[in-house]
Amino acid sequence: KKKAFEWATFTLPSTVGQLINGLGNYTKFTPCPNEDDCDFGATYEWKLSNGLMVDGYSMKVGPKGKASKQHAIEFIELSARKGAVIDNLIFQLSLNKSSLTECKKKFNLKESKDPNTWKFQQNNVFTYLYFNDNGILIKIGQYPFDKESVG
């Protein structure tokens, strides 16, 4: 019997190696396109069989960077394949299922500048919750800074 999916909690910043321990091997490594567009550095992408997609961003890796388990992952974004409901994620949230109404009860949400996006801070991590027009959670981002106050 397949074990129910369990999100392994990562403390940001994490490393590629730690994410591999929790998620298995990454599916794709993409260095940043060029020096001018390196704000978010390289991207490590995981595509899990249950439909979960995790992007980990390694901000210090330049365009010539090679993949390495030692790379720091400063922030992560979780989304799901169309139609896949993924339970038991960070804070027990469910992609394609948790509602904005539920989340407002659970967290002290502040509205983000982006449409359908809300955020809250816990310790030094900012969690962004992205909803579709029906108020259903479609993406979760965790950043060690408030991404709206940078750039």
Segment 123-149, tens digit of pLDDT: 889 999 999 999 999 999 999 889 888
CA angle 102, 9, 93 (to 5 degrees): 15
97 SS3 class: coil
Q: What is the spatial distance between Cα 106 and Cα 54, in angstroms, rounded to a whole number?
A: 23
- Check residue 108 and give its pLDDT: 96
Q: Residue 142 pairs with which residues in a beta bridge?
A: 76, 127
Query: DSSP class of residue 106?
Result: H
Q: What is the spatial distance between Cα 77 and Cα 62, in angstroms, rounded to a whole number?
A: 20
Return per-residue pLDDT of the chain as tens, 151 residues: 455 667 777 788 899 999 999 999 999 999 988 777 777 789 999 999 999 999 999 988 888 889 999 999 999 999 999 889 999 999 999 999 999 999 999 999 999 999 999 999 998 899 999 999 999 999 999 998 898 886 5
Long-range contacts of 3-8 (CB under 8 A, 24+ apart): 4/88, 5/48, 5/50, 5/52, 5/86, 5/87, 5/88, 6/88, 7/88, 7/89, 7/90
Question: Could you identify the residue written with the tokens 């750039």?
Answer: 151
- Check residue 100 and give its pLDDT: 98
| Burial per residue of 12-24, b for 16 or more beta-carbon CB atoms within 10 angstroms, e otherwise | bbbbbebbeeebe
- Check residue 11 and give its pLDDT: 81
Q: What is the spatial distance between Cα 54 and Cα 74, in angstroms, rounded to a whole number?
A: 13
